[in-house]
Amino acid sequence: MKVKITVSFKKGIFNPEGDTILRTLNKIGYENVKKVGIERSFILELSEEMPEEKINEIAQNILSNPVIEDYTVTKE
């Protein structure tokens, strides 16, 4: 059983890595890229079903920073 937790910046939070990539792309000839957003996904392989509550604990306490990041959970 797999669970995918995807973490991204909340709206309005500045994303320095995406900004650097955007400026690099624009500089080297890819001018029609207007924004670069970044997400990180953690694919957890589980030996047995895990309650949603525990998955949310992992997402909030270990994999994301709830002050500046949001996460979504999808089961695969």
Residues that bind a second copy (CB under 8 A): 6, 18, 21, 24-25, 30, 32-48, 50, 54, 58, 62-63
CA atoms of 1 and 4, how far apart (whole Å)? 10
Residue 55's Cβ-count burial label (10 Å; 0-12, 13-18, 19+) is middle
Residue 70, CB-side half-sphere exposure with 13 Å CA sphere: 7
Taking the complex as a whole, how short is the minimal distance between the CB of residue 67 and a second copy, in angstroms?
A: 20
